[in-house]
Amino acid sequence: MQKTKEKAILVGLNIGKKSEDIERSMEELALLADTAGATVLDQVIQKRVTPDRAYYIGKGKAEDLAAFSELREADMVIFNDELSPSQIRNLDRKLEVKVIDRTALILDIFARRALSREGKLQVELAQLHYMLPRLIGLGNQLSRLGGGIGTRGPGETQLEVDRRVIRRRISELKREIIALRKHRALHRQRRKRNRFNLISLVGYTNAGKSTLLNTLTDSNLYTEDKLFATLDPMVRRGIIDGGTEVLFSDTVGFIEKMPQQLFTAFQATLEEIASADVLLHVVDISHPDYLNQVKVVREHLARIDSEYYERELMVFNKTDLIDVESEKLYLAREFPGALYVSALRQEGLTGLKESVAAFIRKQRRQLKLYLPYSEGKLYAELQKKGDVQDVKSNQDHLEITVVVDPELAERLKQYTVPII
Helices and strands: H and E segment counts in the chain: 16, 14
Handedness of CA 402, 406, 407, 409 (dihedral sign): positive
* pTM (2 d.p.): 0.81
Strand partners, 98: 76
Read off φ and ψ for residue 256, nearest 5 degrees: -65, 145
CB-CB contact of 284 with 291 (8 Å): no
CB-CB contact of 173 with 118 (8 Å): no
Domains of the chain: 6-158 (3.40.50.11060), 195-362 (3.40.50.300), 364-417 (no CATH)
pLDDT in tens, the chain (420 residues): 456 789 999 999 998 777 788 999 999 999 999 999 999 999 999 999 999 999 999 999 999 999 999 999 999 999 999 999 999 999 999 999 999 999 999 999 988 888 778 888 888 999 999 988 877 555 554 444 455 666 555 544 545 556 788 889 999 999 988 888 787 777 767 766 666 788 999 999 889 998 999 999 987 765 566 677 666 677 888 888 767 888 998 878 899 988 888 887 777 678 778 888 899 999 999 998 999 999 999 999 999 888 898 899 999 999 999 888 888 888 888 999 899 999 999 999 999 999 998 888 887 788 899 999 888 888 888 887 788 888 999 888 899 898 887 778 888 889 998 876
Query: Between vectors from CA 78 to CA 76 and to CA 84, what angle results, nearest 5°?
Result: 115
DSSP, res 124: H
Q: List, in order, residues 6 or more apart from 60 with CB less than 8 Å away.
A: none
What whole-number distance in Å separates Cα of residue 209 and Cα of residue 261? 23
**Size of the chain in residues:** 420
The closest of 339, 321, 318 to 211, measured between CA atoms, is 318
What whole-number distance in Å separates Cα of residue 351 and Cα of residue 329? 19
CA trace torsion 103, 104, 107, 109 (10° rounding): -110
Distance of CA 43 to the CA centre of its chain: 27
